[in-house]
Chains A and B, each alone.
Chain A
Amino acid sequence: GAVVSQHPSRVICKSGTSVKIECRSLDFQATTMFWYRQFPKQSLMLMATSNEGSKATYEQGVEKDKFLINHASLTLSTLTVTSAHPEDSSFYICSASGDRGEIEAFFGQGTRLTVV
């Protein structure tokens, strides 16, 4: 299957600071990337969908000024959690679909964010 790399895998930051998470498609061009968050023992919650070169589409209830998404190239999307608070602590996962023809989504390894 296709490879999607997400970095960092774990990050601890102080309340009020910003954290950037990167998601890269390593062997295909990701025309669309999805950002999810997942709380313990809960399902994946879609935060936003980003298409290369255009603004991300945010799901209802997700603050676009707090969760900044940039999809500047066909292989890279970033999620920046601005002014992080402890309630933002969660597991963030990206997935990508693109030009390979498969219908399944390919996931990054996930980022465990802890805000202290």
Chain B
Amino acid sequence: GQNIDQPTEMTATEGAIVQINCTYQTSGFNGLFWYQQHAGEAPTFLSYNVLDGLEEKGRFSSFLSRSKGYSYLLLKELQMKDSASYLCAAMDSNYQLIWGAGTKLIIKP
């Protein structure tokens, strides 16, 4: 079956770095997405990886290893506004998104 695993909740300190991991199993693979979702709002796109390696975009970076079925989202210089849920989603061979349950990130001063 198709499955996405990510931690339920993480806590980090303002100004620090946090890494949110995601493992996936899909029927075929057409890329891995990370979205940010604040409570009561719709998800907003953060990153897309389809090739192995690290993609850096400002304070946020995303990494993919296709052979391991593994990705992580790295957030640097954490700010209070980064408190949100981070959703990992893998696109299968039918271009359908398989969503993880999300990781709630709590930032403490």
Contact = CB atoms under 8 A, between A and B. Distances in A.
Interface of A: 1, 6, 41-46, 49, 91, 93, 103-110, 112
A108 B48 contact: no
B43 A107 contact: yes
Interface residues of B, number: 19
A14 B42 CA distance: 25
15 contacts: A41-B102, A41-B104, A43-B87, A43-B100, A44-B99, A46-B97, A91-B40, A103-B48, A105-B97, A107-B42, A107-B43, A108-B42, A110-B41, A110-B42, A112-B40
A1 B40 CA distance: 21
B87 A44 contact: yes
A110 to B, nearest CB: 4
B33 A110 contact: no
Contacts of B91: 103
Contact of A43 (B33, B44, B99): B99
Nearest to A107: B42
A109 B87 contact: no
A88 to B, nearest CB: 18
Interface in B8-61: 31, 33, 40-45, 48
A110 B40 contact: yes
Given A41-B104, A42-B101, A49-B96, 20 more contacts: A1-B45, A6-B42, A43-B87, A43-B99, A43-B101, A43-B102, A44-B43, A44-B87, A46-B97, A91-B40, A103-B31, A104-B48, A105-B45, A105-B97, A106-B45, A107-B44, A109-B42, A110-B41, A110-B42, A112-B40
